[in-house]
A and B are shown apart, each in its own frame.
Chain A
Amino acid sequence: MLGISNVDKRYPNGLLALSGLNLDVAEGEILAIVGGSGCGKSTLLRLISGLDTPTAGTVALDGTPVTGPRPEIGLVFQEPRLMPWLTIDQNVAFGIRHLPQAEQKARVSESLARVGLASHVGHWPRELSGGQAQRVALARALVGRPKVLLLDEPFSALDALTRGDLQDHLLDLWAYDRPTMILVTHDIEEALVLADRIVVMQPNPGRVRVEVTPPLARPRDRLDAEFLQWKYKLLGDLDHASRPPTGDESFPAVAI
């Protein structure tokens, strides 16, 4: 459904952020991309979302090349990026501003209700906590019912408790109309809880190191023995991906 073939991205300053990247994402799949910082994860999402264009290769959605932002592709940034001068319902309505007023209103309340913030209509962004603001950002990305939802480390700025909550929440949202999701994270546990398939990237230049499809049953238990095994395996991969192989390291350190 979403095809990324032979993509290179070189920034104007000469830095090669991605090189020869190939990736296919199936409809309704949840794909996690993990990797240390600087290995091109955000760059990749910017290319898929159409905010930026690849230097070589193509990104195609259902066979048509992505040349700019498209209504079928939604993006949630690392920060909520709400407009401080709009109330939260007006912020959510950003995504469906072309619809008739009445329908906008219904869709906005529906999608705020789905992220558990129905009672916050009319509030200002400054009145929200970090987790609530990020939920509004999720509602804004989902209100237009995109086929593909891109998430760039959406929960990394939140505390562990809120993060766990929002991860479960994201799965509920996904179950509702099953968009294809690509989730960038540097948190292995987050990837294992959410994703069907996990791609580990490595830097200089950014490319895929390994790809795994953990056969874990859902809902996933963060303390399950098999889950933990996968977690340690991937931590090892991530560690190798971010460090040149020097000397012996008996215990894989988290390299983030």
Chain B
Amino acid sequence: MSSVNSCAASTLEAALPSRRPNLKWLLGFILPVGLALAWEVAVALKWADGRLLPTPSRVFTTLAGLARTGELAAHVLATLQRVALGFGFGVAAGTVLGAVSGYWTLARRLIDPMLQALRNIPSIAWVPMFILWFGIFETSKVILIAVGVFFPIYLSLSGAILGVDRKLVEVGRIFRFSHREMITRILLPATLPAYVISLRSGLGLGWMFVVAAEFMGAEEGLGFLLVDGQQTGRPAVILASITAFAILGKITDWLLASVSARFLTWQDSFKPAE
């Protein structure tokens, strides 16, 4: 018994993180920063023409200018609000319908074939209909985003529920779990890893669709800024908008990933070697 314990203790110690500050995440910056610097230098030395592809410093000045006038904040806020609303509705609908169709066979037979058929329509194709039905203002934009977010969440949640190990479900049956307990204590945690991944891909699609939504006519928003930059022939504005999208997308994904990581510490998953 004591040998077993000491054995377990030594593996635990080995698994403790090292004390040194972890700077490995900086590795991810080498490539983009290096490329940006190279372009900056190339234009500065007149090896290349920075008119169609402005240098990072010009993009940065443009962003700073937009920020100073308060324009940037207004655009960011408008876009963030659309993504948040669309993502919220998409997640809610995808979660409810995905859970129902995964858990309840009759419901699956009813709704799944239709949703599978609808899924094959590129969501952008709905744009004319949505504008007709919901006007060209916020509602149609939020709905378009929600539709984009809905499908990955619906599909992966219903699939994940059907894929839960029967052996674990039987443990719940032995302990006479009610339907509610079965869902909250076994199905939900068992599907959480897949669900989190679907939330993240749903969020990615949300960012994609907000651009499409703002292309179809908006007075503000980063997508509007993009179109505006194109129509007024200012590539630096386009790139400034793209940069803002990249930063916001990365931050929101990181937030989602780090919040969900707290719930997934139990996972015994593959960790690639350093």
Q: Is the CB of A95 within 8 A of B175?
A: yes
- Chain B residues lying within 8 Å of A127, measured Cβ to Cβ, are 8, 11-12
Q: Is the CB of B174 within 8 A of A49?
A: yes
SS class, residues of chain B in contact with chain A: helix
Q: Does B267 contact A (CB under 8 A)?
A: yes
Q: Is the CB of A84 within 8 A of B268?
A: yes
- C-alpha spacing A49/B189, complex, angstroms: 25
- Chain A residues lying within 8 Å of B262, measured Cβ to Cβ, are none
Considering only residues 110-142 of chain B, those with a C-beta below 8 Å from chain A are: none
Residues 204-220 of chain B, each 1 if its beta carbon lies under 8 Å from chain A, else 0? 00000000000000000
- State which of B25-33, B163-171, B194-202, B238-246 sits at the interface with chain A: B163-171
Considering only residues 113-128 of chain A, those with a C-beta below 8 Å from chain B are: 116, 119, 124-127
Considering only residues 80-98 of chain A, those with a C-beta below 8 Å from chain B are: 81, 83-86, 94-95, 97
Min CB distance B256 to A, Å, is 19
Q: Does B1 contact A (CB under 8 A)?
A: yes
Q: Is the CB of B175 within 8 A of A97?
A: yes
Q: Is the CB of B173 within 8 A of A71?
A: no
Identify which of B1, B168, B170, B176 contacts A83 (C-beta below 8 A): B168
Considering only residues 150-180 of chain B, those with a C-beta below 8 Å from chain A are: 167-168, 170-171, 173-176
SS class, residues of chain A in contact with chain B: loop
- Chain A residues lying within 8 Å of B168, measured Cβ to Cβ, are 81, 83
Chain A, Cβ-Cβ closest to B188: A85
- Chain B residues lying within 8 Å of A83, measured Cβ to Cβ, are 168, 171, 185-186, 189
Residues 46-88 of chain A, each 1 if its beta carbon lies under 8 Å from chain B, else 0? 0001010000000000000000111100110101010111100
Residues A124 and B175 in contact in the complex (CB < 8 Å), given A81-B167, A85-B189: no
Q: Does B10 contact A (CB under 8 A)?
A: no
Q: Does B92 contact A (CB under 8 A)?
A: no
Chain A: interface size category = 20 to 34
- Chain B residues lying within 8 Å of A70, measured Cβ to Cβ, are 176
Min CB distance A132 to B, Å, is 8
Q: Is the CB of B8 within 8 A of A79?
A: no
- Chain A residues lying within 8 Å of B18, measured Cβ to Cβ, are none
Residues A84 and B170 in contact in the complex (CB < 8 Å), given A95-B175, A116-B1, A119-B5: no
- C-alpha spacing A208/B145, complex, angstroms: 64
Q: Is the CB of B266 within 8 A of A84?
A: yes
Q: Is the CB of B171 within 8 A of A81?
A: yes
- Chain B residues lying within 8 Å of A85, measured Cβ to Cβ, are 189-190, 192, 266
Residues A51 and B174 in contact in the complex (CB < 8 Å), given A79-B167, A85-B190, A124-B266: yes
Residues A126 and B268 in contact in the complex (CB < 8 Å), given A69-B176, A116-B1: yes
Min CB distance A1 to B, Å, is 20
Q: Is the CB of B170 within 8 A of A51?
A: yes
- Chain A residues lying within 8 Å of B1, measured Cβ to Cβ, are 116
- C-alpha spacing A94/B169, complex, angstroms: 13
- C-alpha spacing A222/B143, complex, angstroms: 72
- C-alpha spacing A69/B267, complex, angstroms: 30
- Chain B residues lying within 8 Å of A79, measured Cβ to Cβ, are 167
- C-alpha spacing A152/B12, complex, angstroms: 32
Q: Is the CB of B5 within 8 A of A69?
A: no
Chain B, Cβ-Cβ closest to A116: B1
- C-alpha spacing A116/B2, complex, angstroms: 11
- Chain A residues lying within 8 Å of B186, measured Cβ to Cβ, are 83
Residues A94 and B171 in contact in the complex (CB < 8 Å), given A83-B186, A84-B266, A85-B266: yes
Min CB distance B270 to A, Å, is 12
Chain A, Cβ-Cβ closest to B169: A81
- Chain A residues lying within 8 Å of B5, measured Cβ to Cβ, are 119
- C-alpha spacing A124/B268, complex, angstroms: 9
Q: Is the CB of A69 within 8 A of B266?
A: no
- Chain A residues lying within 8 Å of B268, measured Cβ to Cβ, are 84, 124-126
Min CB distance B38 to A, Å, is 45
- Chain A residues lying within 8 Å of B189, measured Cβ to Cβ, are 83, 85-86
Q: Is the CB of A69 within 8 A of B167?
A: no
Min CB distance B233 to A, Å, is 55
Can you list 30 pairs linking A and B with CB atoms under 8 Å apart? A51-B174, A68-B176, A69-B176, A77-B170, A77-B171, A81-B170, A81-B171, A83-B168, A83-B171, A83-B185, A83-B189, A84-B266, A84-B267, A84-B268, A85-B192, A85-B266, A86-B189, A94-B171, A94-B175, A94-B185, A95-B175, A97-B181, A124-B268, A125-B268, A126-B268, A127-B8, A127-B11, A127-B12, A129-B4, A132-B4
7 extra interface residue pairs, beta carbon distance < 8 Å, beyond A81-B170, A124-B268: A69-B173, A83-B168, A84-B266, A84-B267, A86-B266, A94-B185, A97-B175
Chain A residues at the B interface, C-beta cutoff of 8 Å: 49, 51, 68-71, 74-75, 77, 79, 81, 83-86, 94-95, 97, 116, 119, 124-127, 129, 132
